[in-house]
Amino acid sequence: MAENNRPSGKGYWGRILWVDLTTRRTVYEDVADGVYEKFLSGAGLGAKFLWDRQKAGAHPLGPENVLGFTTGLLTDTGALFAGRFTVVGKSPLSGGWGEANAGGYFSPWLKRCGIDALFFSGAADAPVYLYIDERGAELREAADLWGLDALDTEIRLKERYGPRVQVAVIGPAGEKKSCIAGIVTDRGRLAARSGLGGVMGSKNLKGIVAAGTRRVGVADRAQINRLSKEFQERISGKKGLSRFLTDGLLGTLGKITRRSRIFPRQPADLWRLLLRKYGTTAITAMSAESGDSPIKNWGGVGYLDFPLSRSQKIGAEAVRKYEVKKYGCFSCPLHCGGILRVADGPFPIPEMHKIEYETLCAFGSLLLLDDLPLILKVNDLLNRAGLDSISCGGAVAFAIECFENGILTREDSDGLELRWGNGPAILGLTEKIIARQGLGDILADGVKRAAARIGRGAERFAVHCGGVEPPMHDPKFDPGFGTAYACEAAPGRHTTASYTYLDLQFLEKKFQQARKIPALTTHREKYRTDNKGEALAVNTFYKMLIDGAGVCLFGTQIGGNYPLTELLNAAAGGHRTPDEYLLVGERIGLLRQAFNLREGLQPRKDFRLHPRIVGEPALAKGPAKGITLDMEGLTDGYYKALHWEPATGRPERGHLSALGLAEVVPVLYREDNH
């Protein structure tokens, strides 16, 4: 094992590990302080090294694709909410920048191995896993683990190495190189998006065992402790109010939002109380009612096709009946998670993580299914298989609509009667997707590829953004999401920017550059496209900072003014202003965009949203009645604020240089130089 003994006092180790799976060699590499100053750690470090070392044109499922696991700059520094890791690589779904992150406990354990990130290249000739601690790293044979589901793999590895290790593994979906597979930690938490579990499977890499015990040093620990304590005090109030929050009240709020056609300022204090009490399940019924949730493969209307009487059957209170204890990730004071137990009925489950809103919607309102025990069973299967529930729900919705329209038959589905709300058929098809069996094999690579293989006009029902199934938030409700879905380097991403987040994060107060953020109080105001670009750009830069720091998005959305930039200064030293940090976020975003352009993607064309997401044609009823988003206008405004060329999305030459990315210019402007 190669040893690592590098000390650090800036919240990072200044060291990464490269693992060549083909040769089975591991090599530590020192990273200069300047890299962290420019990109932080986490997703920023991932962007930097994928830009520098990834060969353009690499096949996403080939040995040349580089797969990185990165920890945040604030991870394990004593900062609250700072336990997330980010996986990066070329996505088999979009063909461009791939990124997924998750919480749990894996990230600090990896960082305690004395590295900030771990990059895999090549492919092993037989299944392996990586064992790593602060003394070094070694690839070990994984033949006995191959074929096990993700939860059993974790159990087996913890039996082998003891409970004081953390693991990140793939399940059967990743092994079978499904393009919608994710990476599993903490017995069922997923870094789900971008198909990076399939990339891991293509490398014959079953998992990583992180057994580090060394804490990273920081510049000013007393300041981190003080900032964290003050923040915790600010978010601990008003707990008593949560007893007044019920599913009925939330449904009524959704109804009021729909009927009044206002777009209320998002109350961060309420969101905190909801997350603490229910987790993200809180919004299930409210979103179906308000128009936030997509319904019936993006073609339906919530209050007509999936009214409150049905959405509440899978809503917050219904899920809470199964909760046996609360769960919080590393360094989290909020505990939005929970552990569920289904003791009886047709689908008993001894223990599983609380289901998230995204999964409830992807297998609920999207499929018109209100059978909660069956949805929980599906969730457990997906966690074990290591499959992205958003993409899988989208794939099932696509198949159902193809079936309803005669494009698929019972012969194609091996006898499954694929109808809206048909629970047994939905469960059966999910099992087929996991096993890559029959129609499931076609769907396991996402709806875009499935439609191409099926033909016969199936692409009409393949709802995707640049090959990625969209998350469960309708941009016709919050057009900010539409901008992110279409313009993000990782398309179809609901965590980057939206009007909702702008409100919840109070960004207009945090950053002077964001002072022109409009108040979105009216229905009409939110569809204006001439005044949104800068606000959404600031929102994006802030998210890049969050991911570079390894912070949970919710920590920044629950009031209390999360002191992100102050914590970064306390960890790394220095006195950078919030606006200076915003430039760091922008720089990370620029590199991700440059990555896509180097791959030959044309974002404006390749990431065009499916017509249903945009409202083409507009729906005749419901909250989105008559609405067609002006995606051209939204994209123009966003690109302009980012200094990206309007037609191509290529960052302007001068802007790249001004942000310290002059080395990118010759690559993006190659043809202009001849």
Q: What distance in Å separates the CA atoms of residue 543 and residue 540, rounded to the nearest whole number?
A: 5
Q: Does 342 bind ligand SF4 (CB under 6 A)?
A: no
How distant, in Å, are the alpha carbons of 581, 586, 589, 593 from that of 655? 16, 11, 13, 13
The mark string for 16-35 relative to ligand SF4 (x by CB under 6 A, - otherwise) is --------------------
Residue 281 or residue 413: which is nearer to ligand SF4 going by CB? Answer: 281
- The gap between the terminal CA atoms of the chain, to the nearest Å, is 48
Residue type, 562: Y
Among 118, 286, 332, 447, binds ligand SF4 (CB under 6 A): 332
Q: What distance in Å separates the CA atoms of residue 292 and residue 266, rounded to the nearest whole number?
A: 13
Instruction: Identify which range of 233-241, 325-333, 343-351, 366-374 contacts ligand SF4 by CB under 6 A.
Output: 325-333
Among 167, 173, 205, 334, binds ligand SF4 (CB under 6 A): 334
Reduced to 3 states, what is the DSSP secondary structure of residue 371? Answer: coil
Instruction: Identify which range of 23-31, 328-336, 455-463, 536-544 contacts ligand SF4 by CB under 6 A.
Output: 328-336
Residue 545 or residue 552: which is nearer to ligand SF4 going by CB? Answer: 552
Q: Does 231 bind ligand SF4 (CB under 6 A)?
A: no
Reduced to 3 states, what is the DSSP secondary structure of residue 28? Answer: strand
Residue 145 or residue 191: which is nearer to ligand SF4 going by CB? Answer: 191
Residue 265 or residue 335: which is nearer to ligand SF4 going by CB? Answer: 335
Q: Find, among 575, 479, 500, the residue nearest to 543 by Cα.
A: 500
SS (H, E, C) 439-473: HHHHHCCCHHHHHHHHCCCHHHHCCCECCECCCCC
Please report, as residue ranges, which positions from 39 to 98 form the binding site for ligand SF4 (by CB under 6 A).
81
Residue 333 or residue 660: which is nearer to ligand SF4 going by CB? Answer: 333
Strand order in the sheet with 323-327: 323-327, 337-342, 349-353
Q: Does 328 bind ligand SF4 (CB under 6 A)?
A: yes
Q: How far is the CB of 232 from ligand SF4 (least distance, A)?
A: 13
Residue 9 or residue 328: which is nearer to ligand SF4 going by CB? Answer: 328
Among 172, 337, 423, 622, binds ligand SF4 (CB under 6 A): 337
Reduced to 3 states, what is the DSSP secondary structure of residue 655? Answer: helix
Please report, as residue ranges, which positions from 90 to 149 form the binding site for ligand SF4 (by CB under 6 A).
103
Instruction: Identify which range of 308-316, 327-335, 565-573, 642-650 contacts ligand SF4 by CB under 6 A.
Output: 327-335
Q: Does 335 bind ligand SF4 (CB under 6 A)?
A: yes
Q: How far is the CB of 328 from ligand SF4 (least distance, A)?
A: 4
Reduced to 3 states, what is the DSSP secondary structure of residue 324? Answer: strand
Residue 40 or residue 336: which is nearer to ligand SF4 going by CB? Answer: 336
Instruction: Identify which range of 124-132, 175-183, 219-227, 335-343 contacts ligand SF4 by CB under 6 A.
Output: 335-343
Instruction: Name 71's Cβ contacts closer than 8 Å, sequence gap at least 6.
Output: 41, 42, 85, 107, 108, 110, 111, 115, 116, 117, 550
Please report, as residue ranges, which positions from 546 to 585 form the binding site for ligand SF4 (by CB under 6 A).
552, 554
What the block records as the tokens of 399 is 């198949």
Residue 567 or residue 656: which is nearer to ligand SF4 going by CB? Answer: 567
- Phi and psi, residue 626, nearest 5°: 75, 5
Please report, as residue ranges, which positions from 164 to 223 form the binding site for ligand SF4 (by CB under 6 A).
none
Residue 136 or residue 328: which is nearer to ligand SF4 going by CB? Answer: 328
Residue 524: other Cβ atoms inside 10 A = 10
Q: Find out whether the peptide bond into 518 is cis, omega within 30 degrees of 0.
A: no
Q: What distance in Å separates the CA atoms of residue 340 and residue 538, rounded to the nearest whole number?
A: 37
Q: Does 283 bind ligand SF4 (CB under 6 A)?
A: no
Residue 442: other Cβ atoms inside 10 A = 23
Instruction: Name 171's Cβ contacts closer than 8 Å, sequence gap at least 6.
Output: 148, 149, 150, 153, 181, 184, 197, 384, 385, 386, 387
Q: How far is the CB of 555 from ligand SF4 (least distance, A)?
A: 6
Q: How far is the CB of 519 from ligand SF4 (least distance, A)?
A: 27
Q: How far is the CB of 337 from ligand SF4 (least distance, A)?
A: 4
Q: Does 253 bind ligand SF4 (CB under 6 A)?
A: no
Q: Does 336 bind ligand SF4 (CB under 6 A)?
A: yes
Residue type, 441: D
Site residues, ligand SF4 (CB under 6 A): 81, 103, 328-329, 332, 334-337, 552, 554
